[in-house]
Amino acid sequence: MKKIIILMLLGIILIGIGGYLYISSPYDKNSKKEIEIEVPSGTSALQVGNILYKNKLINNLFYYKVKVKLIKPKFKSGIYTLKQSMTPNEIIELLQKGATHKGINITFREGERFTDYAKVISQNTNNTEEDVIKLGKDKTYLKELISKYWFVTDKILQDGIYYPLEGYLAPNTYNFTSKNVSVKQIFKTLLDEQAKVLEPYKDKMKDNPHEVLTMASLVEKEGKLLEDKRLIAGVFYNRLEKKIALGSDVTTYYAEQKSMKIPLTQAELDKKNKYNTRNKTMLGLPISPISSCDKTTIEATVNYKKTDCLYFVADSNMKVHFMKTYKEHLEKIKQLKEQGKWIG
């Protein structure tokens, strides 16, 4: 009987020593490897153990479970960057203090194209440009968005649209947990923000959100100041009403998927395309937006300024001049050329 008791005591001592050695010993004391893990909100200490073991941050799951059952730690959710050279004690202590990892910030700018956004995502996350473009054209996914967001309609499924989500993703600076963020999560974040931006204008644009966003994207590319944007929108609406081609170079650039730093050719300006409003037979809006746009541009487009003007032109100082007649338009261009301010 005494032998059994002695053996039991020795077993307990050995387990205790093993536990102490475990808690004091890192997975690999010589390793410099850093491993990023996420502790989702509501994750128990025991579930965290599985995450640590799976990521090779602890050697023994049994001793970890014994430890957390004894001390009952409260871990904070977040993204953590841990080292294999850290002891389980150090890891447990850090998880109780909270994550120091602040995630990543990604800035999406107004006036940029969907392809620009794809590039930004690829540069800041573990996704490729192809991943972004593929999901942005996935019809099953797009139909899910149509059912979820009031401003996303089946017009984004029209044949001939280059990128269905062009103009729908709100520009801003966003924080994501890590570079492992999915394209779907990024799209959701930007669409949720767009929903907030558009909410004040819902009554005015609920019947034609696609057309409003398309018009706003043109205004974004044509003007800088709020008052100019309101008048530019007014000019465009006048031309639509009178069935005059919008005649906007920015739509040709988009049709050709060309940088605006490169001059357009006459052949490109004349080409018939569902985006190119410089073609005189194109009497409506482009088939879809041509860029993202900010809050002020949407406000200017929805609450545009009524005007008698049908033409406008910007000079080299980015001052926008508005004219009522084609004759006045030509005279203004001549005047700007003489002043060295013509940028056409």
Residue 311: which pLDDT band, with cuts at 50, 70 and 90? very high
What is the per-residue pLDDT across 154-191, written as a single tens digit (0 to 9) for each? 999 999 999 999 999 999 999 888 888 999 999 999 99
Among 90-94, 249-253, 297-301, the least confident range: 90-94
Average pLDDT over residues 306-313: 95
Determine how many CB atoms are found less than 10 A away from the CB of residue 333.
17
**Whole-angstrom Cα distance, residue 29 to residue 51?**
19
Q: For the chain, give the percent of residues with pLDDT over 70.
A: 92
Q: Taking residues 275-292, report their average pLDDT.
A: 96
CA nearest neighbour of 248 among 225, 273, 226, 227 = 273
Task: Determine the length of the chain.
Answer: 344
Q: According to the per-residue pLDDT averaged within each range, which of 204-208, 234-238, 258-262 is highest? A: 234-238
Three-state DSSP at 72 gives: coil
Question: Is the pLDDT at 102 greater than 80, yes or no?
Answer: no
pLDDT of residue 27: 85
Q: Strand 78-83 and strand 34-39: pairing?
A: antiparallel
DSSP H or E run through 207: none
With 90 as the cut, is the pLDDT of residue 142 above it?
yes
Rounded mean pLDDT of 12-37?
A: 68
pLDDT at 213: 98
Place of tokens 């009987």: 1
Mean of per-residue pLDDT scores for the chain: 90
- Rounded to an integer, the average pLDDT of 10-19 is 48
Nearest to residue 288, comparing CAs of 246, 334, 251, 249? 251
Closest CA to 112 of 293, 298, 295: 293
pLDDT at 20 exceeding the cut of 50:
no
- pLDDT (0 to 100) of residue 10: 47
Model pLDDT, residue 120 = 98
- Domains recognised in the chain with CATH numbers: 13-97 (3.30.1490.480), 102-307 (no CATH)
Residue 118 has pLDDT above 80, yes or no: yes
Structure confidence at residue 4 (pLDDT): 56
Instruction: Provide the pLDDT for residue 232.
Output: 97
Instruction: For residues 238 and 295, give the distance between their C-alpha atoms in angstroms, rounded to a whole number.
Output: 23
Query: What is the reported pLDDT for 29?
Result: 85
User: Span 120-149, mean pLDDT?
Assistant: 97
Asked if 302 contacts 180 with a C-beta cutoff of 8 angstroms, the reply is no
Q: What is the mean pLDDT of residues 245-249?
A: 95
pLDDT above 50: residue 86? yes
17, pLDDT greater than 50 = no
Sign of CA dihedral 8, 14, 19, 20: positive
Q: What are phi and psi of 310, to 5 degrees?
A: -120, -5
Give the 3-state secondary structure of residue 239.
Answer: helix
d(CA 167, CA 110): 9
pLDDT value at position 187? 98
Does residue 19 carry a pLDDT above 50? no
Confidence of residue 3 (pLDDT cuts 50, 70, 90): low
pLDDT for the residue 1: 53
pLDDT tens sequence across 47-81: 999 999 999 999 888 889 888 898 999 998 888 88
The pLDDT value recorded for residue 13 is 46
| Interval 201-214 mean pLDDT | 95
pLDDT of residue 14: 46
